[in-house]
Structure 1
Amino acid sequence: MAQSVTIRRPDDMHLHLRDENTLRTVLPYTVRQFGRAIVMPNLKPPVTTVAAARAYRERILAAVPAGASFEPLMTAYLCDNTDPEEISRGFNERVFTAVKLYPAGATTHSEYGVTCTSKVEKVLDVMQELGMPLLIHGESTEAGVDVFDKEAVFLDDVLKPLLEKFPALKVVLEHITTEQAADFVDADRSGRLAATITPQHLLLNRNAMFTGGLRPHYYCLPVLKREQHRLALRRVATSGSSSFFLGTDSAPHERGAKEAACGCAGIFSAPTALEAYLTVFEQENALDRFEAFASENGRRFYGLPPNEGTVTLTRERNDAPRSISPGDNKSIETFMGGGELSWRVSEERAS
């Protein structure tokens, strides 16, 4: 039984940092474990322009703890009226790393999102030429589709036609949750389709939201699914396939917003993310594949150089807090905090 695991410093390929006090409070937990992160643009108002992305990046960098090294990789929020020239300029000036497609109404702060992919075809064509990745929240917003079927329906109704129409477009299907999505990405041989997987979708099925009562801190979108889907995600994540990589979708919401009549979707996993993923890989007897999933597959898909330095995790009780406070008597619940995990990041070493 391994007592420690050392990997090249990993990246979080799907992260929500919010802004202001929340940003300053949550960011150190990501910086502690990750060298880079793909930062989501769904602020209010959303990050839709090069100027807004530059400003947000500066606020993130200003919040990085002294002496730490971290690179935020910015994304553009895709709207029906997004200017292709703005996207091209942002990519060429190395401000935008990717573009995020939220179907309008699908998740938190997605009301400005895309109502129909036909309205953004000019943007997608430019992205295809640039080799710029499109990051997709893959859920159907059609009325009447069951919440547990939204991802599977999106694959057939939206993603497959989009991939056919734009045969060179690089696509990341974000935070996949179903066997259908796992199999679809796994079957692709083009090298231009990939997927991120969150720790909660590897560790929990939908029973977690209802055991002993309604558990709002386990509510996220896409929602947790049946056990067969969790097992399928574990299979592909630990398979060694380069098409799957780490993306926490860590999404902080203060307790009052979660424990509400209309509670927010999102799980704050940044303080425990790497340890949670390692737990899964150990359970699946795949520790030898953990570094590829956490540190290699994502950066290669994005064409990024390897991070410098390493991170060592040691088998010991994780002391991450059960909750953290951004001030104003508010608190944010931590995924599997309070000693639920038996791995802990114990060392970071620069090369």
Structure 2
Amino acid sequence: MPRPVVTELRLSAYGGRRGATYPLGPVTLFTGPSGSGKSTVLGAYEALARLGAGDPLAEVFPDPAAHVPESARPDSQGRRGFRIGCTVDGPAGPVRLDLAVQAEPELRIVGERLTRHGRTLLTTALRDPGRSTVQAAWLTAGTTPVTRAPLPDDLLGTALLPLRVAGATEGQREVLAAAEQAVVGLRSLFPCGPVPDRMRAPVLPGEGRLLRDCGNLAEVLHRTHNACPRRHQRFAAVAGAGCAGPVTGVGVQRLPDGTVRALLARGTRPATPLGRLGDGELRYLALALTLLTGPGVLAMDRIAEVPDAMQCLTLLTDDLDRGLDARQTAALLALTTAIAADGHIRLVGSAGAEAAAQARRTEGVTVVDLTP
């Protein structure tokens, strides 16, 4: 059975994008010159994922006016906003989610639509600006064709449906299946932005879940070294493809103060602490480790009610090739496509021109050029 995955991102009116639709494959890289909108596209995806996880609108968009297209003119009541959406494929087929957000004069959701095979399953609309709710209507297909109820105007309605719909009729079951697929597809996202300077110092061992900035890389390697030896051995092999000099393994050393640090084994030569590696090598190792781990090792909100076998993790990373040389980029792309081919992990990111050229020569990578 296919796992829910986001296969299309729509920026109908968001930042500098209007009427833009981007297909997302197992490995998708956005490229283009500075200012072309790469970070804007990735930011829209992360925003939808956070809304799907139940985050309030104000936390997801702390500066909402920044996402309103410059050409957007306020209406007679001074209202301006933006529109984004996505398609999530899975067992229920392609499910479309479209969202309209008012940014000014106050932040609120003013419209949401969930559709499947052209059939509208959920709509919301702002009926009374004086209330902090939207009027929602979802398919019932029973004695009453639709069910109507108010929903908060600061939360994604689709994410609330599993708590509101009983599933007593065929229509309600269709709504539940589509909503749950959309939520699972969106929530299965891990934004990864390795920061080398935060990865150099020894850290205290703990839960061993990799943070977004990968600052606790040594802690996670301590966990995989002890609990996942097979995965750790594969990581050691991958490390050798992206680090200078001979690499015969990856070890972890516990220091007298109780902290741990990671080491690259060099055969008969002294081991090299990861703190001595260059920025490119550290970013390469962090991204490789992220690809080789699953939701249980990443610091993300796991969907406990959905078995891991039914989820497909999507890694989101801006500037994939930052600090990487051509050899490291090629090794990382090869690892990414090999892992994505298994259907458990996808990657959406951005890259510079040279990395994009390499990606175009790599089977299994979709490159989207945002050059104006």
Using the size of structure 1 for normalisation, the TM-score is: 0.29
Using the size of structure 2 for normalisation, the TM-score is: 0.28
